[in-house]
Chain A
Amino acid sequence: MNRVFDPPRLARLLVSWEIGSSVGRQFVVEAKRDGAEFIEAEHMLLALAASADSEAAKLLHEFGLDHKRLVAALRAERRQTLAFVGMTATDTKLGEATERDGPPSLGTSAKVAVRRALIGSRHDRRRARLRGTDLLAGILEAEFGTVPRALAIAGIDRAALLSRARGSE
């Protein structure tokens, strides 16, 4: 299963997705905007929402989720998480550090989402073809972590959204 995560294979998958490699570039944009060291599932979700004409973005929109609403949901999740230890977002303002060179690599939640997308999709394995909705489903399968927390706090029916993502043609 680890071969799924080697960079050349992942790059081929990205290029073969319905929304192409631009979504892969958007992963990096979203991770960097978040100041994150790794691309995580929430950055992939934001990237899918940002690709306005894709099936994944249309489906998210049906559930009231565009990029802006997702950002707000993730902020609300962050607030609730930090509140557990008596902190606010202001408490986490730290000194600036020079960024590491090169694009951030995939974090654990992102790798798991890709793996789940591949396992659950009906993609053509010979051509390693994967759709944006497959990745969306892979992201939505997570029961714990930042994405399901943000969706729960925002009152989004994750199970219904997952069902639609898996069933979409």
Chain B
Amino acid sequence: MTSNPSPVGGPADGLAAASALRAIADRLEDAEVERAMRAGWSWSQVAEALGVTRQAVHKKHLRRLLMAQIELRRRNNE
């Protein structure tokens, strides 16, 4: 135990890695949700594959996917 730990090595490397992996996971989700929706997946299918609710995936990605001009499936077509 030290009162003044280093920003590199030991737990600092592990904590930095956890933070980096979180950002990588977010970018991967953005890319793969977009890929799935371009391939015609429904919101419900994407949500189930991600293990989150349809509302959650919708809230997080809708605006960006509209910007990407992806033709999104309407709910009654799911």
**A residues lining the B interface (CB < 8 Å):** 35-37, 77-78, 80-82, 84-85, 92, 94-101, 143-146, 148-149, 152-153
B residues less than 8 Å from A77 (CB atoms): 16
A residues less than 8 Å from B26 (CB atoms): 37
The residue on A at minimum CB distance from B7 is A148
A residues less than 8 Å from B13 (CB atoms): 80-81, 84
Contact with A along B1-40 (1 / 0, CB 8 A): 0000011100011111100110110111011111100000
Check B56 for interface membership: any CB of A closer than 8 A. Answer: no
Excluding A37-B23, A97-B34, A145-B16, 9 further A-B contacts by CB distance (< 8 Å) are A35-B27, A36-B23, A81-B13, A95-B32, A95-B35, A97-B64, A98-B64, A143-B7, A149-B7
Inter-subunit contact A84/B34 (CB<8 Å): no
Inter-subunit contact A84/B16 (CB<8 Å): yes
> Taking A84-B14, A97-B27, A144-B12 as contacts, is the C-beta distance between A78 and B20 under 8 angstroms?
yes
**B residues lining the A interface (CB < 8 Å):** 6-8, 12-17, 20-21, 23-24, 26-28, 30-35, 63-65, 67-68
Shortest Cβ distance from A160 into chain B, in angstroms? 15
Shortest Cβ distance from B8 into chain A, in angstroms? 5
A residues less than 8 Å from B17 (CB atoms): 81-82, 84-85
Inter-subunit contact A94/B27 (CB<8 Å): yes
Whole-angstrom CA separation of A85 from B16 in the bound complex: 10
Inter-subunit contact B7/A96 (CB<8 Å): no
B residues less than 8 Å from A97 (CB atoms): 27, 30-31, 33-34, 64
A residues less than 8 Å from B12 (CB atoms): 144, 149
